[in-house]
Structure formats: structure tokens, C-alpha cells
Amino acid sequence: MNFTVKYKTNINCNGCIAAVTPSLNGSDAIEKWEVDINNPEKILTVELKENNPEVVKELVKKAGYNIEEV
């Protein structure tokens, strides 16, 4: 069973997406993810294998971006 969580971020371009990709793709906790850079709130949608949204927050912050749960 996967858990879908949405976050507001400041990931606002393809370069930003490239910067967070290694962290998010490298996490065993994440099934898949995507960022809607066309949305004014730059929504990051993540499918987690377990209900642990803090994992995503830590990874995005370590990559240098702001993140908060919607």
C-alpha cells in the first residue's frame, strides 16, 4: 500500500528538479515523485511506500530547497 503526500516547495525549474533527483530517486522510501513547476506553489507529489512524510522533507531540505506539507 502506497501513501501519496503533497508538498509546497520552491523547486521551480528543470535545473531544480535535476538537483533533487539523486536524493529522491536514491531513497528506498519513495516509490515515485513529480513536481508541478507550472503550479504557483510548485507542488511536489510523492508516493511513499510507508506513511513517513518526514523522509521527503529531510531529503528536499538537504538538497537546499524549502518544503512544507500541503
In angstroms, the CA 68 to CA 43 distance is 10
Per residue in 10-26, pLDDT (tens digit) is 999 999 999 999 999 99
Q: Which helix (H) or strand (E) holds 26?
A: none
Look at the chain and report how many structural domains it folds into: 1
- Overall average pLDDT of the 63-70 stretch: 96
**Residue 7: which CATH number?**
3.30.70.100
Q: Residue 22 sits in which domain range?
A: 3-69
Answer whether residue 1 shows pLDDT above 90: no
Q: Which three cell numbers stand for residue 48?
A: 511513499
Percent of the chain with pLDDT over 90: 99
